[in-house]
Structure 1
Amino acid sequence: MEFNLGTLVLWGASIISIYLVVIIPIINVLKFRRIPSHEAYPILGNLIAMWKCHDEFNKLFERWASKYGRGPVVVWGTYWFPIVVLGDAKDVKKVLCSRDHVSKGLFYRALDLAIGTGAFNAPVGIWKQRRPHLEQAFHSKVLQRLPSIFYLSSCELIQALQKDGHDTSGQTFDIHPYLSRCSIQMLIGGALGLEVDTFGGASKEFWKLAIQNYTRGTFLAEYRMLRPWYLFSSKIWNLTRLSKEMRTSVEWLHKFLFSQFLADKKRVDHEKNSTVQSSDKIMPQPKNFLELLLYLQNTKPELELSDQELIYEISSIYIAGTDATSKTLSFLILSLALHHDIQEKVREELDAIFASDDNTKGNYPITETHCNKMRYLECCIKETLRLFPPVSCITRRVGSDIYLDDGGHVPTGTEVVISIFSVHRNPSVYPDPNIFNPNRFLHPQDNAEMSTIKIGPFDWIPFSAGPRNCLGPKFAMVEIKVVAANIFRNYKVMTGSFMKMEDWVLHTNITLDLQGGWNIKLVPR
């Protein structure tokens, strides 16, 4: 029997096709046979279901968590790309606690252009080298000076609300744009050590443009995340018009915003002729994140921190420290607007804290001592983060085999999605999990209702957990406390019409969104 070249090519193509279409899917199914697998179409897997729910992933994950008893479930981006979704704390702990699983998942590739090797997205080698140094910027001594900085920003927020007439109009408005600008200002003042007039004057249009570029850039990153043909292949993505649009937004942010932060800080430091003495463990005079970066650039050549690397780090903390904070504040304020009894308890606590200052209407500065006394407000913040974690799911690339308690086996190299949203709504940990109830986080002796319920360290993970958790959870908590305290010292917050929390439509973007915005009205106290 004779074979010509065409026949050989046909046979070769057939063998490759059978391997790709039949053999690899069978191998993958066998690999994950000990973990429940969601029903899927041949070849396409669960891609269609994920596509239909692309902006409501949390609902999809929660349905799967309920269906499979909150145990692990295999879903198929395609049958070539199995994903294990985890929604139970005991399984999540096995991933987040281990240094074998600190590699970020493939989905973060969509952020490479914006934050490069910044702490949020850095490859494991770079992350291990830099992380111990970057933690110094969030040491307790650094945090002591933050409330006074954040207080000034919160006062400018109040002034902006008054200037636009929201305190007297009696009309509803979306508070999130105001909180977004306030969060930017707090990050610039607290983490970067710079003074920026965020709200008024000549800078207003600049900041409007900055927010537009940031919003568009994050939208396009999320768009790429949810389309595997773009996510898996940078070459295909780079050919698209959207890729060029994203590059334009990111380059604007790097050139006119983050580079300017760096240049301004270098200029200020030069004018002050100030230097930070060398120390391997902690700076003798800790100041802020950007000052630490410049110190490391000058004293730690092994970290290879070029100006571009510093811009990536600034970009990374900007993404993590502005959008997430403003979304949490927005959800907190709207939640308290819906629950007048809880809002009144917050107000009573604040009045008691500031009673000795003989001024409960927001003119007396908020200090670290005040923040430490805001225990019930902290419970409200924690409950907000439980119900509405700004980053509602995270991914990891498994670095070694994981053996789950129920006998499931997650092979090395698997993409694991941790649904923080599902972990936080586990009814065995949180009775009536969809109800806003800050009492869950009261000390057991102050809360007979919840005294038998124990919340474990991996049952509440809005800042992730383990060695690669968020760098600045305490920083964020101080920000939120100061802004919320100043708002509720000045105003009663209400909704414009009857609404129920269960009717809210949440959208899963890079951070959690609320359809229709965070619409409230203010009543001066």
Structure 2
Amino acid sequence: MIVQLFMCVLLIYLAIWRWKARHRIAFAKHFKNDIKAVPLLGLHVIANCKTDHDRWKAIKMFADETLKQGGAICAWNLHILYFLVADPVISECIMKSCLEKADAMKLTLSIVGNGSAVADVPIWRPRRKILVPIFSPKYLMHFEKVFSKQSMILMQQLKKAASQGQLSMSKYVTRYTMDSVCETALGVEAHAQSNPDQKLHHAFLNSCRLISDRIIKPWLHFTPIYKLTADYKEFMGYVDTIYSFIQDVITAKRKDLAAKNNVVEDEDRLKPILELMLETSGYSDTTLIEETVVIFTAGTDTSALATSFTSVLLARHPEIQEKVYQELTQVFGDSKRPVQFEDLHHLKYLECVIKESLRLYPPAPFVLRKIDKDLELPNGLTLPKGTSVINNVYATHRNPAYWGDDADQFRPERFIDTPLTHPAAFLAFSTGPRNCIAYRYAMMSMKTALSTLLRHFRVLPISEEELGQPIDLKFDIMLRANDDFQVKLEPRN
């Protein structure tokens, strides 16, 4: 009797759900998808694999299928319809019109609270207006001294490690980006490079690990259940460490600014981002913490990953590395002087190399959006409210219709030879109103670190078999090399 009652309730629920989802069901029929789904569960079993490497293979399977079907497919995950897109025309339409981030993306970035990277539009919009001017060249040019100083410290650390054989580039570059972000964003020195065991660095790495672990366990997506686990307690401990550190800096900076209220200051003095926000925003401490955590986490991880991917690609393509070195020689001669802001404008080929690395291996391989109202697509179909969209950056960057038949090849010259065939064909920094406002900051940091690295070292693969080969990947909350970016370094002198 109980079983019959349960089945009756279940059938009624499914009938109601199917009626409410009828527009999404009809929409999905327009898009072919040859990946077989599990009845009722959809693709949930496939998408949530046991290891980071397995998870990437599943994600890549969907990317390949999206390209095979012409740039768009639909897939059900439990009760949620996902619209997977690798066509710049469709992506641009969605990312300009639908600004709400999908709930799944908010889960992956749960450490940032209501930070503008994931905040709902009413919160994001006024914050964005304040943040955009802060990331203008007027202020960013002063940060180059920090990037340059920290890149020289990075070289000192790499010299010690290079003599011991192969090493993980990301291990060292992440400390460089953390020190750079703390000094440029907060105005404090974290000393992560000289003291890698310090609490802040430890808290950042482990909070990312726990977020990744939560993603692959769907039962932990429900917050009340997650709060009952030991992982939640551990995660909140790391979050408290990061937040307490930033809160202390904010408190000290407010007192410092109050003391200097009537003092005429040097206009050329480096003002950290936190100080600029305090002067222009009127943000509460809670808002300041959330926005600073966004800058701290994104500025540390994404720039480090992009720099690491570029280093490995240069190791596997020595002929391209030599072209970069020749450009560096033209700009710097044979000196090892620190990089200056004016130098960055002359490193045009290096910038193309970085962009090509971001094209092939974007640290954030997809962008999720939530459709909060019906949207007419360029092909005339209506994308129904309630659909979740995965703008597949990885697949878009390899779409042969926009990048040619050699879309899988590492060829930096493509950013010199021809302009983009569509503005949304390159999504490394997203597109539309919610694009990355810190792209200039990121490029400055990456160009400084890589130019300093390549003037001091020749980057080599760990074996000759890797020459010209693609990078084996894994995915947690970001795209990473499966071997943690292993290379060898050979001093140039």
How high is the TM-score relative to the length of structure 2?
0.90
Q: Is the 8 A contact 1:137 1:288 kept in 2?
A: no
Deviation at 1:190, TM superposition (A): 2.0
- Quote how far apart the aligned CAs of 1:361 are: 3.5
Q: Does 1:320 align with 2:311?
A: no
Q: Deviations over 1:92-141 (max 9, x none)?
A: 0111122xx11110112325641111111212111111111011210120
2:206 counterpart (216, 219, 228) = 216
**CA displacement 1:4-61 (0-9 Å, x = unmatched):** xx89x966x5553113335524734235333335532211111122123434344122
Alignment of 1:93-132 (within 5 A): 93-98=92-97, 101-111=98-108, 113-132=110-129
Alignment check: 8 A CA contact 1:119 1:127 kept = yes
Query: Are 1:77 and 2:51 an aligned pair?
Result: no
**RMSD (Å), alpha carbons:** 2.6
Is residue 2:276 matched to residue 1:292?
A: yes
Task: Say which of 239, 243, 251 aligns to 1:254.
Answer: 243
Q: Which amino acid aligns with 2:472?
A: V
Cα distance change, pair 274–388 in 1 and its aligned pair in 2 (3 A): farther
Worse-matched range after superposition: 418-427 or 117-126: 117-126
1:396-430 CA distance string (max 9 Å, x none) = 11122223334443101211111100000111222
| 2:55 counterpart SS class | coil
Long gaps (5+) in structure 1: 1-5, 278-282, 445-450
- Residue 92 of structure 1 is matched in structure 2 by 91
Give 2:100's aligned amino acid.
S
- 1:524 paired to 2:487: no
Aligned to 2:471: 504
Q: Which residue, out of 327, 331, 337, partners 2:309?
A: 331
Once the 2 structures are TM-superposed, how far is the Cα of residue 473 of structure 1 from its aligned partner?
0.2
Q: AA paired with 1:476?
A: A
Shift of residue 81, structure 1, vs aligned partner: 1.3
Q: Is the 8 A contact 1:35 1:408 kept in 2?
A: no
Alpha carbons of structure 1 residues 407 and 225: separation in structure 2 relative to 1, 3 Å? farther
| Residue 173 to residue 14, structure 1, CA distance change in 2 (3 Å) | closer
Q: CA deviation at 1:173?
A: 1.1
Counterpart of 1:405 in structure 2 is 378
Residues 223-302 of structure 1 mapped to structure 2, 5 A cutoff: 223-231=213-221, 233-255=222-244, 257-270=245-258, 272-273=260-261, 287-296=271-280, 300=282
**Cα separation, 2, equivalents of 1:105 and 1:57:** 20
Asked if the contact 1:185–1:196 (Cα under 8 Å) also holds between the matched residues in 2, the reply is yes
* Residue equivalent to 1:483: 449
CA contact (8 A) 1:134 1:292 kept: no
Secondary structure at the aligned position of 1:513 is classed as: strand
Unmatched 5+ stretches in structure 2: none
Which amino acid in 2 is paired with 1:519?
Q
**Cα deviation 1:262-314 (Å, max 9, x = unaligned):** 2443354355457899xxxxx999933201222245xx3xxxx3212211111
Separation in 1 of the partners of 2:105 and 2:312? 30
CA contact 1:147–1:368 (8 Å) conserved in 2: yes
For the residue of structure 1 that corresponds to 2:424, the secondary structure is: coil
TM-score for both structures, normalised by structure 1: 0.85
Checking the alignment, whether the CA contact within 8 Å between 1:34 and 1:407 is kept in structure 2 is: no
Instruction: For residue 488 of structure 1, give the secondary structure of its aligned residue in structure 2.
Output: helix
1:215-266 deviations in whole A, cap 9, x for unaligned? Answer: 22122223333444332x22222222222222222122212x3223324433
CA 1:372 to 1:205, structure 2 compared with 1: closer, same or farther past 3 Å? same
Give yes or no for contact 1:170–1:522 (8 Å, CA) kept in 2. no
- What is aligned with 1:195? 189
- Aligned position for 1:3: none
Aligned-pair CA distance for 1:511: 1.4
Distance 2:62 2:335 in 1: 43
Kindly name which structure, 1 or 2, has the bigger radius of gyration based on alpha carbons: 1
Distance 2:18 2:421 in 1: 39
Relative to structure 1, is the Cα distance of residues 175 and 274 closer, same or farther in structure 2, using a 3 angstrom cutoff? farther
Using the TM superposition, name which of 83-92 and 49-58 deviates more: 49-58
2:171 to 171, 177, 200: 177
Q: Please give the alpha-carbon distance, in whole angstroms, between the structure 1 residues aligned to 2:421 and 2:315.
A: 26
Counterpart position of 1:447: none
| Whole-angstrom distance in 2 between the partners of 1:466 and 1:205 | 39
SS in 2 for 1:126: helix
Q: Does 1:352 align with 2:326?
A: no
